[in-house]
Amino acid sequence: MSSRRVTLGVDEAGRGSLVGDMFVAGVALADGLEEALLEAGVRDSKSLGRSRRRELLLDVIRLSDLIVVSRVVPEDIDRGNLNDLELRAVERILKHARSRRVALSRIVVDEIAGRKEALERFARKLFPDAEVVMKPKADREFVQVSAASIVAKCLRDEFARILSSWYGEFGSGYPSDPRTVRWLEATLSAGTLPGCVRRSWRTLRRARSRALDEFAKKK
């Protein structure tokens, strides 16, 4: 195992989306390089525009010891518990870090509700001496988690762009976005539903109900 000590930050993007995968990213940063990322402007990805996130991604890649990403697909999200699925994704990231012989001094994960003790148990099997931190809004407090949020968000942005080129522009893909809801209703009216849509989301059930109502009115 390498003598270098690093902190691994973990965050996700796309957890609450109706369309597309959830991306969980881990960024391992050698202790002492935090200031370099802060000076570059790395912070919570939600406070950054798309072009700025892409610029900062280059700094994250340049300075990090390791970047690992785990995808969770809609089919699994529909069948499982989202918190458990995110925890499993974090575990895969930790396994990869261990296989690359990265000595972690600290593991920091943005909160996954009710999964802190499970994370601690798993992490200490692989990294017995590492400090394990899970807390809300960790992406605002730890630059390593901010960096992970940028990686995850950039990948989700690009994936959404590709899906839009295949299935039509659907906006952000989140249920709160009127463009996404309009796209979903139009897609249902056309009699198709791509595999990238999470079928267990309430938004889909409501859209189906409205589509059926509109169909009944036309008869």
Determine the pLDDT at residue 209. 64
What's the mean pLDDT in 140-145? 96
Any idea which fold 5-164 has? Answer: Nucleotidyltransferase; domain 5 (3.30.420)
Establish whether domains 5-164 and 168-218 are of one fold. Answer: no
Q: Are 199 and 206 in contact (CB under 8 A)?
A: no
HEC string of the chain?
A: CCCCEEEEEEEEECCCCCECCEEEEEEEEECCCHHHHHHHCCCCHHHCCHHHHHHHHHHHHHHCCEEEEEEECHHHHHHCCHHHHHHHHHHHHHHHHHHCCCEEEEEEEECCCCCHHHHHHHHHHHCCCCEEEEECCHHHHCHHHHHHHHHHHHHHHHHHHHHHHHHCCCCCCCCCCHHHHHHHHHHHHCCCCCCCECCCCHHHHHHHHHHHHHHHHHC
The amino acid present at 31, given as its one-letter code, is D
Q: How far apart are CA 58 and CA 12, in angstroms?
A: 18
Q: How far apart are CA 47 and CA 63, in angstroms?
A: 21
- Report the 10 Å Cβ neighbour count for 153: 24
Determine the pLDDT at residue 213. 44
Q: Of all residues in the chain, what percent carry a pLDDT higher than 70? A: 93
Determine the pLDDT at residue 44. 85
Q: How far apart are CA 151 and CA 148, in angstroms?
A: 5
What's the mean pLDDT in 99-110? 96
Domain ranges of the chain: 5-164, 168-218
pLDDT in tens, 36-68: 999 999 998 888 999 999 999 999 999 999 999
Question: Which CATH code for domain 168-218?
Answer: 1.10.10.460
What's the mean pLDDT in 154-176? 95
- Tell which wins on pLDDT, 120 or 5: 120
Token reading at 53: 């996130």
